[in-house]
Amino acid sequence: MGKSTHFSGQPLYCQVIKLLDKSTILRLSRKYGGEHYVKRFDAWTHLVVMLYAVIMRFDSLREIMASLQAESRKLCHLGIRLMPSRSTFSDANRRRPEIIFESIYRDLYATYRNILSSDSRKNRDKAWMKRLQIIDSTTITLFSNLLFKGVGRHPKTGKKKGGIKVHTVIHANEGVPSDIKFTSAATNDSFMLRPSALNKGDIIAMDRAYIDYEKLETLTLRGVLYVTKMKRNLKYSVMEDCMYQTTEGFMEVRIQHVTFSKVLKGGETLTHHARIITYADTRRHKLVSLLTNDMKSDPDEIIEIYRKRWEIELLFKQIKQNFPLKYFYGESANAIKIQIWVTLIANLLLMIMKKKLIRSWSFSGLATMIRITLMYYVDFYSLFNHPEKDWEMLLSVARKEDYQLSIF
């Protein structure tokens, strides 16, 4: 049989990294002093090798080096002229500032944001989708608590475990992080809620860990709407209370106009007005109470906005399932952060490629297929838009052979 119908003169991985701009990466590296050390292993080569390791889900430096050696003849396609040693790679992870990889992520996000944004008319999204941002955090457990504190103890050894908390903001119509901050796992989530980063007309959906009266009032003054889940221990005064029932007499929704008060350090009293919307969650068979400063919108719309918060949970699940951060290629805080940034870059690149495809793919299906064919000489768009072409060619050959056999 001849070549694949999707044959390309370069490995699929080359087509992935074509989304990166080498000159920009080297410029950012020089800006933050990343080219002072390990000069023969520049930031471009460092990123290409790290991306390769993350996409392939390698667990160790030994595994990475063994795979690179096996694919040594193809490395020239990736712009790698010299095979890095394990010690060189390890040293680069320890010494090259992680802010370089953060800057690369932010530059990529800004470059491809228009591709990531879904067309609201085409997808029939609500008008508020473009204005909705979702904020949450996820914790990555580490073996040691020497660098990042706060995720309890190992159940068997009793030793303290460390953890790094990844605070994330996403735009609901994009599906990738637009802002990210790292802290130790012990840091309170409300750290990431920054009213100054939001503009009039924006909507923010978050869980109850972000409730802070001063910040919520600042959001209101800035014209930013928020929707969050109520905490049970909050004290407030009810100004208005209205309940709507079904025809069977069951509660459908309850709307309360409430006031929160807090005495500030200077003795001044802060007053914050909001609505509590309580509804029956039929799927979970329980009552859910939401808190919002949106005093006008229909309760069903407020509920729908909060349910969109689940998208950020799906993002965390997507990243952890397809790029599991169980093993790190270095023990320093810098090396750990570099690996997390590269994981986020890998997720972003695959999301961009997924958006460009005509054929619909699940992210996990796409990531698995890319992992399998990463160093194959196939054209990405040809293969992933028409993966059945090779099967058609095989069947055609088989039918021809059967026909020839039947003549004799």
Q: Give a three-class secondary structure readout of 309-342.
A: CHHHHHHHHHHHHHCCCCCCCCCCHHHHHHHHHH
Instruction: Kindly tell me if the per-residue pLDDT of 407 is higher than 50.
Output: no
Q: How deeply is 184 buried, as exposed, middle or buried, from its count of CB atoms within 10 A (0-12, 13-18, 19+)?
A: middle
Highest mean pLDDT among 80-89, 120-129, 238-247: 238-247
Q: Which two tokens stand for residue 30?
A: 């020089």
User: 300, 407, 336, 4: which is closest to 185 by C-alpha?
Assistant: 336
* Residue 243: Cβ within 10 Å count: 11
CB proximity list for 363: less than 8 A, separation 6 or greater: 318, 322, 350, 351, 354
Q: Taking the CA atoms of 55, 61, 67 and 68 in sequence, report the sign of the dihedral they define.
A: positive
pLDDT tens, residue by residue, 38-63:
678 999 999 999 999 999 999 999 99
Instruction: Kindly tell me if the per-residue pLDDT of 6 is higher than 80.
Output: no
What average pLDDT does range 307-320 have in this prediction?
92
What average pLDDT does range 60-81 have in this prediction?
88
Between strands 132-142 and 162-171, the pairing is antiparallel
Instruction: Kindly tell me if the per-residue pLDDT of 396 is higher than 80.
Output: no
CB proximity list for 214: less than 8 A, separation 6 or greater: 262, 264, 270
State whether residue 25 is helix, strand or coil.
Answer: helix
**H or E element in which residue 364 lies:** helix 363-373
What average pLDDT does range 280-296 have in this prediction?
91
5 neighbors 393 (Cβ within 8 angstroms):
yes
pLDDT at residue 158, rounded to an integer: 46
pLDDT tens, residue by residue, 105-136:
999 999 999 999 865 445 667 888 889 999 99
* Least confident span in 2-6, 269-273, 303-307, 339-343: 2-6
d(CA 343, CA 347) in angstroms, rounded, equals 6
Phi, psi at residue 16, to the nearest 5°?
Answer: -70, -50
d(CA 118, CA 130) in angstroms, rounded, equals 9
Question: How many helices (H) does the chain have, and how many strands (E)?
Answer: 14, 9
Binned at pLDDT 50, 70 and 90, residue 146 comes out as: very low
pLDDT at residue 33, rounded to an integer: 93
pLDDT at residue 153, rounded to an integer: 47
234 neighbors 289 (Cβ within 8 angstroms):
no
Q: Which two tokens stand for residue 367?
A: 């990531």
Partners of 211 in the β-ladder: none
Question: What is the pTM (predicted TM-score) of this model?
Answer: 0.87
Q: DSSP letters along 124-165, please?
A: T--GGGGGEEEEEEEEEEES-SSSS--S-B-TTT-PBPEEEE
225 vs 326, higher pLDDT: 225
H helical segments located in 155-269 = 213-221
pLDDT at residue 4, rounded to an integer: 61
Binned at pLDDT 50, 70 and 90, residue 242 comes out as: very high
**H or E element in which residue 50 lies:** helix 43-56
288 vs 387, higher pLDDT: 288
pLDDT tens, residue by residue, 247-278:
888 888 999 999 999 998 888 999 999 999 99
d(CA 176, CA 168) in angstroms, rounded, equals 9
pLDDT above 70 coverage of the chain, percent: 87
Q: Which amino acid is at 184?
A: S
Q: Which two tokens stand for residue 87?
A: 């010690």
Tell me the pLDDT of the chain averaged across its residues.
Answer: 87
Instruction: Kindly tell me if the per-residue pLDDT of 391 is higher than 80.
Output: no
pLDDT tens, residue by residue, 16-43:
999 999 999 999 999 999 988 667 899 9
pLDDT tens, residue by residue, 185-199:
888 888 889 999 999
* Least confident span in 214-218, 290-294, 323-327: 323-327
pLDDT at residue 107, rounded to an integer: 97
pLDDT at residue 155, rounded to an integer: 45
Highest mean pLDDT among 37-51, 211-225, 280-294, 375-389: 211-225
